[in-house]
Amino acid sequence: MADIKIGAYVCKGCGLGERLDIAQLVTVAKREGKAQVAREHDFLCNGAGVAMIREDIEKEGINHVVIAACSRRAKTDAFGFDNVAISRANLREGVIWVQPDTEQTKEITQEMAADYVRMGCAEAGRMQVAVTNPAHGSNKRILVVGGGISGMTSAVEAAKAGYEVLLVEKSGVLGGWVGRLYRRMPSHEPYSDPMETGVPELAKAIESNKRIKVYLNSVISRTSGAPGQFSVDISKESGGTTTENVGAVIMASGFEPYDLNKLPELGGGKSPDVVDQAGLEALARTASGGAIKRPSDGKEVKSVAFVQCAGQRDDSGKHLAYCSGHCCNTSIKQAMYFKDANPGVDTVVIYTDLRTPGNGEDFYRSAQRKGVIFTKGKVSEVVPGTDLQVKFKDLILNEDAVAKADLVVLATGMVANSGVDIDAAGGAPNVEGQPEAAAGNGKQVSVLNLTYRQGKDLPLLKHGFNDSHFICFPYETRRTGIYSCGPVRRPMDAQQAIEDATGAALKAIQAAENAALGRAAHPRSGDLSYPAFRREGCTQCKRCTVECPFGAIDEDEQRYPQFNESRCRRCGTCMGACPVRVISFENYSVDTVGYQIKAVDVPDQFSEKPRILVLACENDAYPALDMAAMNKIQYSAFARVVPVRCLGSVNTIWINDALTAGYDGVILMGCQKGENYQCHFVKGSEMAHYRMSKIDDTLKGMSLEVERVRTCEVAITDIQRAPSIINEMAETIQKIGLSPMKF
Amino acid sequence: MADAVATNETILVVGGGISGMTAALEAAECGKDVVLVEKNPSLGGRVSQLYKYFPKLCHPTCGMEINLRRIKANKRLRVLTLAQVEKVEGSPGDYAVTIKVSPRYVNENCTACGACAEAVSAEIDNSYNYNLNKMKAAYLPFTMAYPQRYVLDPSIIGTPEADKAKAACKYGAIDLGMQERSLTLKVGAIVWATGWRPYDAAKIQPYGYDRFDNVITSVEFERMMDPFGPTAGRLVRPSDGKEAKNVAFIQCAGSRDRNHLKHCSRICCMASLKQSTYVNEKFGDQAQSTIYYIDIRAIDRLEDFYQKVRANPTVKFVKSKVANVTEDRATGDVILHGVDTEGYHRYDNRHDLCVLAVGMEPSVDAHSIAAGVHADVSGFIDAGMANGAIFGAGCATNALDVNRAVQSATAASLRAIQVINKVSGAEV
Amino acid sequence: MSELNKAMVNKYRNDFLKEVEANVEEGDWVKMCMQCGVCSGSCPFGPYWEHPPQEIFMMIRAGKRDDVLKSESMWMCTSCYNCIVRCPRELPITHIMHGLANYAHRLGIAPKMNPTRRFAKLFWKNITKGGRVNELKLSIGLYFMDGFSNGIKKGLEMLPVGLGMVKTGRLNPFALLGGGKCKGAGDIHKMLKKAQEIENRRKGFAS
Amino acid sequence: MAKKEYSFYPGCSSERKASASNYMVSVESMCKTLDIKLNEIPDWNCCGASIGYAEGGELPRHAMNARNIALSEKHNPGQDIVATCAACWLGAKETHERLSASERLLADTREVLKEAGLDMDYKGQVEIRHMVEVLIEDFGYDQLAKPVVKPLEGIKIAGYVGCQTNRPFGVAGESFENPKYLDKLTEIMGAEPVEKYDQKVTCCGGALAFSEPDKSQAQIKKIIESAYDFGAEMIVTPCPVCQMNVEVYQDQINKKYGTKFRIPVTYYSQLMAVAYGSNAKEAGLDGNIIRAARLEEIAAKPAKK
């Protein structure tokens, strides 16, 4: 890229003009910031101000712009210039709004502002305009793994949007579990009767769809590459492997019912007349609207008992701890099979909490109208025999009771086909805590066979499901370009699976589209920067490959990191991890931050003016400080705040630099870590805390007090706490005195 | 944003809550042109009024910050606030949508410096806080409001108050001459994400929301936890400002009730479980929460959270639909009357505060959207039916939690894209 | 056990719910209860109910025929309709309680000495005789329900009330000789006989 | 004001020398002022009341009410049926509603009515209304305020609505838990309603006051106590059973609980009659066992306008 021409623009609006010596700041930008052009303006964000900057970009060839005005979170419309590197010196939220307007404080406030101008120039000087990563692929085919209702839906919906789809199903037919149902729950008003599954029609539509290529009796034996350039081996049961290239992957590998035989106390495996919900569907299909006959003796079923939460919501640790969500509605539907065929059949549903959210309530009422009996009770035992005895505690009448039935249906739960647990299989530390052993039916076969350094399948969230950890972002995935949907991600019914599969199709399409443009995926969507490393400097320590939260980095034949830029989320955790600092992004590097730290003017120890470096996560801590400013909550004028992409990107060299430069304190503000982590990059905050736990030795080595460095979790709502953390540090420094490291 | 130009390859997203923001962003990040209209002065919707999410107890504003950053960074996505859809005409791939834009009286020049608010003395109900307190008539709806631009309340227009505001603004940002205007957008597909509103608690007469100060709604309770909210983050009783340590939560307040909402609102059980942790957050072991329920509906891994709260000794569960609430005139305490149906135990329980877990109803009756849009009897969009190229998203279609609302919005976004790609003949 | 009761036991065997649905006023609503308990909590006489309505509905489903029909509970209903207006499932609970009481009474297994049952009986006799209430006879009948001596005692207790009513012209001491009569009393008797007939036919009460 | 005509169902308690005869007297005076003509249903019979269920059962109960409706439709065609007694109103309205809801029940009832030759007279096309509804809906508070010549100044009155005029049907626009119409009527008559009175809709025990006196009187005690607590000096009600139960047992309650209750319990129509200028007798005040002294004073005064 051409030589760097910095233009620095200092705004006088919003009281900056009244509070600060703008002329001095302009001089600082020129003299110290090495800005070719430095100007002030009364009202930088309005038409005239912006025009002034544009003119410099066009006429003066300014390619690096420093906006010394308000926070980088404000006025983004006005200051969004294309193809120039932009740095924002936060004089409003960062200085005048957090400092008292008094004569005594005028000097330190001005120093604060001047430092931010220096820092802005320093950052701009080290930045490059990000250009898309050269290694991107542009394949936009979508691979869908699993031919159940979820996979079929994803395939059809993606094709509808004009995309080519490969649909891989391990069995010989499309349809999955829903395909084996007699009917499914109603999806629209009046929500009163079971409805057709629609699977045959869907299967036909797929077979006749020229955009969808179906592989039956096939599994994925290898997946390598990255969004826009995945390469997958599809192996047929009969032998023979085809290699296909795709742009994104949807994992819709579904579930298995929890093994009935694990519930002998409920008659599971003890009597042919004790079936699970899948078993009942089979009986219903055979009867197809007629009287349902029981397995043991083909006798027409006259009474049936449904046992809810069989092996679910289990607190003994023996079975599934969670609720599969659909089972109440499913039992209601199945009870209707009997009632609709013959109202005389006695049907009782024994439950502890009946869970029919949303319009399921109508379905519940409809079943009652049809005469299905609901009993709130806890079943302790099912005694096999010609008429089975269901022993339960009636929780309403508060007594032990027995229900006799010709057939007993156990509502067992869903177990995800999520492949191998890569965390249990050893790999990156599992931030979710160890998954419980009981989850699953034991067998673990990889679904995707990823060739990734960090394991063969998607990381699991909980109970063996690979759902997103984020409430706002259900499609957030830790393997870029690979999205899971349907019951493999979370227990759900067919209707939800269809909705989920459609959403997953969008995300897959989006990932392929972004990959083709070399852009980052969520949360830094659109970011064109990408990590690069100096091969000659690399010591092959593998920290980056191990610590990358997204499994983006593999190792090449010579054991050097291989970045797979299209898998990267640009969090910089690798940059923070690198002990030899060879990893950087064009617009975010060890230098862009390092030089800001060095740019700050550190007064000598007699001036009584400490300096506190605050490295704040740009997603939570930095906005919190911004909002503190909007509420005019003040904090120490000695603080210098630098936003970072993620605390994970903080390289300890920055701390060393700061301390050796004579800073008196350093604060790292990151997101909550641990089980309910808030870090948008999963492990960034956790890694930072881990790394900083080792800083104490460094401090001791420099004979500095450990209190001078503090790492804390700050939420975006800590609008009052964040400033107080800074002030506490200021007080600490008062107590322990200034750093001796000032020269 | 000024008048948005749109074509039949543009997607219109109606509603700027988390569902609408998601639908708009997902489409725009697929390279589509999107116009997002929101009737309020800022984006965010209901979730921006929540203190925490269940079950992680994380803060909604955290995800909102990310979504706002995505919006700021995306030039294909344009946002219209104070804008309401008045008429939808046309057919898939070719809709003409009439939008009414109400005057904000503040233009793009606004720097959110706050001078106007300081100058104005008139106050209005703070709707962001469910009118639990007042705010200046020149205001930024909340600290994270986007667009980050002040609003003048119509009530002061034409009064000296408005002139004060204008005089205080150095940047010519205040334009008292702004008029309501109507614009017509040509769009190819529409995502309808107008969300929900809390059921009117006063209609649930036995609980006396309209008669007793210390009976409040779950949404109001959320606002009380905000340090910058109506009670400055203190859990206190409206009647006397006394700390509310002993809190009752009444489930199905309006939901699962043929006299009110016939559907189950899905989120209320989890919301109350979550809110019981607020009481602990404020008062530790001093806290006492009692949850009166019919069925606790904590599905999938939300069950873990339910079990965690169950294990909390300061939280009691009573299986009962509370019959009625009375007030102890002397103390202002609320007394809940009813029967614990697990074994028939009568109770007349005294509490400091009673929180009604109010149900969800659609904030726009889907019957009024446009011809050809199927609505169910509750006014939700019946997404199980074909609705042309108008796709329901989030709580406009059903009572959903945030996670499911966002899934639904993402799905709706793809359905809209399918229409647009047909129009543009895009082959990949 | 009364003949009718025997008949019904045989007819419905172990399915008490079906029996209730067929024979009890509004009985087919019982299955719609979701056990929220709002009715039980709303009853002004709630504390005196051995089994509150929602529990009774559960007992019916559980086939506890005798426990329900022989219970005093339904006889505690004051017809205040609180339960009806609050029920989220719109069950006509008041009428179901009346229906159960009436059914138990017809089967002859309702609690013999229950005062409300006896008063109700007296009341019906009183109004059907002439077509209108004869308040004096009604109250006197009421006092002597438990025999002469108790009647005197109760009568004396109630004397001030009675006298007050008489003094203010709200009780007619001469009503013993008549009063509370419709011209169409005869028609009414015929009607009631017919109504009884039809109900028996409908509900399969052999009588 | 044009004369308004209704088919009138007075009910047993309103008969001469019956427990609510004074209600009847005051209603007549009130109607005179409002120019309401009440055409009594010839030979009406008892509604069976709520307690009729036990012996009577379903069909007989409906038959009793159907007869009244049939008689009304026969003799007072096209006129709404108006009842002053809560139980009568409820009984008739319930039957009317059920018969229009169930073909079968209607057929059975006709078969029964045939015995009285009334089967063809039952059309079920009348509205069945309580006097209070007539006042509120056909006149409205403003109209009702006009004829006031003796405002009931300074009397604090608790409006006790009770059950059966309130549930399950109630008065349009009023809530089951906190109906306000009695307060409004009280107010426009110039008296001071005790709006916060919190036992407005508490059950007095109804017919069970006879069979379960102790339980009922416990209820009645609550009703009266709260009226006193809120400083009421009088209770007003729209229901004969409520009126009687709350008024006549006060001495017994005092004995039982050591209370000193002595609070007059009047009908809304008595307030209105007095406010409209009737004398004590015309307002049926002589029918109150616990004399409504304040009302009598006002009734004795000359009219203001």
Q: In this predicted model, what pLDDT tens digit does every residue of A128-173 receive, in sequence order? A: 998 888 888 999 999 999 999 999 999 999 999 999 999 999 999 9
User: Domain check: are B159 and B242 in the same one?
Assistant: no
CB contact under 8 A, C36 and B320: yes
Length of chain C: 207
Q: How large is the average pLDDT for residues A203-226?
A: 98
Question: Is the pLDDT at C152 greater than 50, yes or no?
Answer: yes
* Chain B partners within 8 Å of A356 (Cβ): 264
B4: in domain: no
Tens of pLDDT, residue by residue over A423-437, are 885 544 434 434 444
Quick check: is B372 in a domain? yes
CA distance D176 to chain B (A): 7
Domain residue limits at A399: 260-412
β pairing state of A561-562 and A64-69: unpaired
Residue B108 lies in a domain: no
Q: Using alpha carbons, select from A94, A124, A125 the residue that is nearest to residue A112.
A: A94
Q: Which of residues 49-108 of C touch D (CB under 8 A)?
A: 75-76, 78-82, 84-85, 94, 98-99, 101-102, 105-106
B2 falls within a domain: no
The answer to whether A471 contacts B65, with C-beta atoms less than 8 Å apart, is no
- What integer is the mean pLDDT of C149-157? 80
Q: Which chain A residues have a beta carbon less than 8 Å from that of B406?
A: 472-474
C51/B339 Cβ within 8 A: no
- List the end-to-end C-alpha distance of chain C, in Å, as a whole number: 15
Q: Which chains touch D (3 or more CB pairs under 8 A)?
A: B, C
Q: What is the pLDDT of residue B428?
A: 59
Whether pLDDT at A398 is above 60: yes
* Closest-CA residue to A621 (of A686, A670, A673, A557): A670
CA distance D166 to D177: 9
CA angle, residues C165, C167, C168, in degrees to nearest 5: 65
A353 in a structural domain: yes
Chain C touched by B263 (CB under 8 Å) = no
Find the range with the poorest average confidence among A365-369, A575-579, C149-153.
Answer: C149-153
The closest alpha carbon to A255, from A554, A485, A76, belongs to: A485
Contact (CB<8Å) A717/B59: yes
Average pLDDT, chain A: 95
A301 interfacial to chain B (CB closer than 8 Å): no
As for how many domains chain A has, the answer is 3
Q: What is the 3-state secondary structure (H, E, C) of chain C?
A: CCHHHHHHHHHHCCCHHHHHHHHCCCHHHHHHCCCCCHHHHHCCCHHHCCCCHHHHHHHHHCCCHHHHHCCCHHHHCCCCCHHHHHCCCCCCHHHHHHHHHHHHHHHCCCCCCCHHHHHHHHHHHHHHHHECCCHHHHHHHHHHHHCHHHHHHHHHHHHHHHHHHHHCCCCCHHHHHCCCECCCHHHHHHHHHHHHHHHHHHHCCCC
Evaluate if residue C9 carries a pLDDT over 50: yes
| Residues B351, B326 share a domain | yes
Tens digit of each residue's pLDDT (9 = 90 or more) over A532-564: 999 999 999 999 999 999 999 999 999 999 999
SS3 content of chain A, % helix, strand, coil (to 5): 30, 20, 45
Residues B353 and B271 reside in one and the same domain: yes
Domain containing B328 equals 199-359
| pLDDT, average across residues A523-528 | 93
Which residues of C, range 114-143, sit inside 8 Å of D by Cβ? 115-121, 123-125, 127-128, 131-133, 135, 139, 142
> Looking at the structure, do residues B305 and B390 belong to the same domain, yes or no?
no
Question: CB contact, 8 Å: B344 with chain C?
Answer: yes
The enclosing domain of A334 has a CATH number of 3.50.50.60
CB–CB contacts below 8 A, C to D: 217
Question: What integer pLDDT is reported at residue A431 of this predicted model?
Answer: 40
Write down the ipTM of this complex: 0.96
Is the same domain home to B395 and B317? Answer: no
Domains of chain C: 3-111 (1.10.1060.10), 115-196 (no CATH)
Touch between chain B and chain D: 3 or more Cβ pairs under 8 Å: yes
Which of B311, B336, B359 finishes a domain? Answer: B359
**How many Cβ atoms sit within 10 Å of the Cβ of residue B285?**
8
The reply to whether B286 and B240 lie within a common domain is yes
Whether C54 has a pLDDT exceeding 70, the answer reads yes
**Domain stops at, among A68, A96, A129:** A129
- Residue C154 is predicted with a pLDDT of 80
Q: Mean pLDDT throughout A81-104?
A: 96
**Residue A137 resides in a domain:** no
Does residue A693 form part of some domain?
no
Asked whether residue A282 falls in the same domain as residue A242, the answer is no
Structure tokens at D162: 């009770």
pLDDT string in tens for chain D (305-residue length) = 568 999 999 999 999 899 999 999 999 999 999 999 999 999 999 999 988 899 988 999 999 999 999 999 999 999 999 999 999 999 999 999 999 999 999 999 999 999 999 999 999 999 999 999 999 999 999 999 999 999 999 999 999 999 999 999 999 999 999 999 999 999 999 999 999 999 999 999 999 999 999 999 999 999 999 999 999 999 999 999 999 999 999 999 999 999 999 999 999 999 999 999 999 999 999 999 999 999 999 999 998 75
pLDDT band at A443 (very low <50, low <70, confident <90, very high): low
Taking CB atoms and an 8 Å cutoff, what residues of chain C touch A365? 32, 89
Regarding whether A406 and A264 lie in a shared domain, the answer is yes
Q: What Cα–Cα distance (Å) separates residue A143 from each residue in A212, A254, A515, A550, A691?
A: 10, 15, 15, 20, 39
Residues B191 and B203 in one domain: no
Q: Is the residue at A709 inside a domain?
A: no
Where chain B has pLDDT below 70, the residues are 1-4, 427-428
Q: What distance in Å separates residue C164's CA from the closest CA in chain A? A: 48
Distance from CA of B348 to the nearest CA of C (A): 10
In a domain, A202, yes or no: yes
Closest-CA residue of chain D to B207: D177
CB B385 within 8 A of CB B8: no
Q: Does one domain contain both A249 and A184?
A: yes
Q: Give the one of B257, B340, B341 whose C-beta lies nearest to C88's C-beta.
A: B257
The reply to whether A44 touches chain B by the CB within 8 Å rule is no
Give the predicted TM-score (pTM) of the model.
Answer: 0.96
Contact D178 B205 (CB under 8 A): yes
Same domain? For B218 and B333 the reply is: yes
The residue that leads in pLDDT, D270 or C7, is: D270
Contacts of A734 (CB under 8 A, 6+ apart): none
Residues A210 and A184 in one domain: yes
A369 to C32: CB separation less than 8 angstroms, yes or no? yes
> Mean pLDDT over residues C122-151, rounded?
87
State which residue of chain D sits closest to C166, comparing Cα positions. Answer: D17
Q: How far is A425 from chain B (nearest CA, A)?
A: 23
Residues of C in contact with B250 (CB under 8 A): none
Structural domain contains residue A639: no
Domains and CATH numbers, chain D: 4-131 (1.20.1050.140), 141-300 (3.40.50.11810)
Nearest CA in chain D to C145: D211
pLDDT of residue A433: 39
The answer to whether position A543 is within a domain reads: no
Domain match, B246 and B121 both:
no
Identify the domain boundary among A363, A395, A412: A412
Residues of D in contact with C124 (CB under 8 A): 48, 52, 54-56
Pick from D176, D178, D229: CB nearest B211: D178
Regarding whether B216 and B317 lie in a shared domain, the answer is: yes
Write out chain B residues lying below 8 Å of D175, CB-based.
205
Q: Count up the domains in chain B and report the number.
A: 3
- Residue A252 and residue A280 in one domain: no
> A444 and A379: one domain?
no
Closest chain C residue to B293 measured between Cα atoms?
C36
Residue A268 and residue A385 in one domain: yes
* Nearest residue, CB atoms, C192 vs list D22, D63, D216: D63
Q: What is the predicted pLDDT for the residue at A434?
A: 40
Sort out which chain D residues have CB atoms less than 8 A from C194's CB and list them: 63, 111-112, 114-115
Per-residue pLDDT at C181: 86
A45 and A111 in a single domain? The answer is yes
Q: How confident is the model at residue C158 (pLDDT cuts 50, 70, 90)?
A: confident
Judging contact as 3 or more Cβ pairs under 8 Å, the answer for A and D is no
Residue A147 lies in a domain: yes
Q: Which of these three, A100, A129, A158, is where a domain ends?
A: A129
Strands B33-37 and B10-14, sheet pairing:
parallel
Q: Are residues B231 and B338 in the same domain?
A: yes
C194 inside 8 A of chain B by CB: no
Within this chain, do residues B355 and B371 fall inside the same structural domain, yes or no?
no
Give all chains having 3 or more CB-to-CB distances under 8 Å with chain A.
Answer: B, C
Is B402 domain-assigned? yes
Tell me, what's the pLDDT at A742?
84
Rounded Cα–Cα distance for residues D235 and D216 (Å): 18
Q: What percent of chain B has pLDDT over 90?
A: 96
Here the CATH number for the domain that contains residue B251 is 3.50.50.60
The verdict on a CB contact (< 8 Å) between B294 and C47 is: no
pLDDT of C62 higher than 90: yes
State residue A440's pLDDT score: 56
Are D and C close enough to touch, i.e. 3+ CB pairs under 8 angstroms?
A: yes
Contact B300 A322 (CB under 8 A): yes
Q: Does the distance separating the beta carbons of A719 and B228 come in below 8 Å?
A: yes
